[in-house]
Amino acid sequence: MSLELRGLTKRFGAVTAVDNVSLTLGAGETVALLGPSGCGKSTLLRLVAGLERPDAGRLLLAGQDVTAVPPQRRDVGMVFQTYALFPHLDVAGNVAFGMVEDRVPAAERAARVTELLALVGLAGLGSRRVDRLSGGQQQRVALARALAPDPGMLLLDEPLSNLDEQLRQALKGELARLLGALGKRALYVTHDQSEAFALADRVALMRAGRIVQVGAGEELLERPVSGWAARFLGHENVFDAAPAGVLTSGRTGAVGAALFRADLAQLLPLQDAADVGVDARAMHTQAGEALTVDAQVAAAQRDGLGWRLLLDVPTWGVTVVWRGFDRELAAVGTPQPGLRLRLAAPPEAWRELPGEQHGDQHGDQQDNRQGKHVKETGRHGS
């Protein structure tokens, strides 16, 4: 059984909330819809749930067109952002709600409620009033309630966003474990990329009603499809045009945006005066060889255990952000504004960002030339 979205479009008046979105979910797969608020991710989820009718496009569940099927006959479970627990029912009543609709016999229902409450860690709280639960407990009840009728697919609408930070971290791990163990297809809406990467097999990045990129978390981080995507995912060294053109392909002239992976670069001490002021074109040595440019520390900030340096690179005409630890700075000395050093950047540190594509994307179509030899040091800022 698979879920297929084909060109789904939803307009509210003049606003196109969901714009020609196509996406396919494989069996047991969890996909996160990630994007800033107002990007249409919740609307897309509501379209899948059947709570909204699309203006165009089709929705196929297990090969069957369910575009016109009302939510109560769709075989999907949903966890709402506000949980939407029924205040007139106790915890067990909430969890059993869907099974009553499915005419599950009372004894079986009770057994399943007990089983589910144990699963979400609320054993023994069945007769508790829902307004006597903490936020985290309410969230678990909402999850148990959605799971109870054993739906073919689970929809989660920012289920952790109403919780405080500590609880969110704890529940994030728990939810990831549960989703993995259940092996259920799930669509997870969030604006928090750490949630998306922790919980989902694939992440669909949304912007202005469109899916701009789909792929595993690593792919998205390493090969963001556009400047916007790179910045949204937390990359700090995203530049427009020129330097990227110079450094990635040897061509001059503008391309789209370019991403510089400072974590792949190396900081070198200044050797002698001869190194200073080399013309940019002179740095085109042999293919695959690291380029070395002058840099000057514009600002140095302690960032937890490491450093965050702003490096002016006159040759490229930009300021890049470099993150790293003391040991990587051992050769160049204590970072302070004005310190001059050299920055050695391998060709793969530069990446052209081709721009956003639309329609169905599976991320794996790009060649994998850069491989996976990525140092982990540079990414803790994201």
Partner 1 sequence: MRLRARSNAADDHNPGPPNPNRPKFGLAKPALPNPLAHVAGGAATLYLAAFLLVPLGVILARGLAPEGEPAGAALWNTLSDPYYLGRIWFTLGQALLSTLLTVALGLPTALLFARYRFPGKRALTAAFTIPFVMPTVVAGIGFMALAGPRGVLGVDLRNSLAIVLAAHVFYNFAVVARLVASFLERVAPQLEEAAATLGAGRWRTLWRVTLPLAMPATLAAAVLTFIFCFTSFGVILILAPAARFATLEIEIYNLTARLLQLDAAAVLVLVQLVLVLGAASLYTRLQERLAVPVAPGAAERAPTAGTKVLIGADLLLAGGLILAPLVALLVQAFTSPAGAFPSFANFTNLLSVQPTLSFPGLWRALGNSLTFATLSTGVALLVGFAFAYAVARGGWRVLDQASLLPLATSPITLAFGYLLTFPLLVTTFWGIPLAHALLAFPFVARTLLPALRSMPRQQLEAAALLGAGPARTLWRVELPLLRTALLTAAAFAFAISMGEFGATLLLVRPEYATLPVAIYDRLGRPGAVNYGQALALAAVLMLLTALVMLILQRRGRSEF
Is residue 215 at the binding interface for partner 1, with CB under 8 A as the rule?
Answer: no
Which residues in the 108-147 window bind partner 1 by CB under 8 A? 131-138, 145-146
- Of 5 and 311, which CB lies nearer to partner 1 in the complex structure? 5
Closest by Cα among 215, 218, 200 to 373 = 218
Cβ 136 vs Cβ 130: under 8 Å:
no
Query: Nearest approach, Cβ of 34 to partner 1 (angstroms)?
Result: 22
Closest among 325, 354, 350, 328 to 341, alpha carbons compared:
328
51 vs 280 by CB, closer to partner 1: 51
Tell me which of 35, 98, 126, 243 binds partner 1, using CB under 8 A: 98
Q: Cβ closer to partner 1: 37 or 286?
A: 37
Q: How far is the CB of 83 from partner 1 (least distance, A)?
A: 7
Cα–Cα dist 329/334, whole Å = 7
Residues 6+ apart with CB under 8 A from 281: none
Q: How far is the CB of 176 from partner 1 (least distance, A)?
A: 20
> Which tokens hold the place of 129?
């009033």
Contacts of 307 (CB under 8 A, 6+ apart): 300, 301, 322, 323, 324, 325, 326, 329, 335
Binding residues for partner 1, total number by CB under 8 A:
42
Task: Give the largest Cα separation in the chain, rounded.
Answer: 86
Q: How far is the CB of 178 from partner 1 (least distance, A)?
A: 18
Q: Is 344 in the site for partner 1 (CB under 8 A)?
A: no
Beta carbon of residue 353, minimum distance to partner 1 (angstroms, whole number): 37
Q: Per-residue x/- marks for partner 1, 7-46, CB under 8 A?
A: ----------------------------------------
72 part of the interface to partner 1, by CB under 8 A: yes
For partner 1, the closer of residues 100 and 330 by Cβ is: 100
Q: Please give the Cα distance from 223 to 269 (Å, whole number).
A: 30
Quick one: how far is CA 104 from the chain centroid? 38
Contact 55, 11 (CB under 8 A): yes
Answer yes or no: are the C-beta atoms of 317 and 308 closer than 8 Å: no
Q: Which is nearer to partner 1, 161 or 377 (CB)?
A: 161
Contact with partner 1 (CB under 8 A) among 164, 272, 279, 367: 164
Closest distance to partner 1 from the beta carbon of 56 (Å): 19
Among 77, 217, 227, 243, binds partner 1 (CB under 8 A): 77
Dist CA 2 CA 25 (whole Å): 6
DSSP alpha helix (H) spans, 215-309: 217-222, 227-232, 242-244
Phi-psi region of 380 (alpha: psi -120 to 50; beta: other; left: phi over 0): alpha
Exposed / middle / buried, residue 113 (Cβ in 10 Å: 0-12, 13-18, 19+) = buried
Exactly one of 100, 111, 241, 254 binds partner 1 (CB under 8 A); that residue is 100
- Out of 13, 14, 63, 87, which residue is the one contacting partner 1 (CB under 8 A)? 87
Rounded CA separation 181/195 (Å): 17
| Contacts with partner 1, residue ranges (CB under 8 A) | 49-51, 70-74, 76-78, 80, 82-89, 97-98, 100-102, 131-138, 145-146, 148-149, 155, 162-164, 167
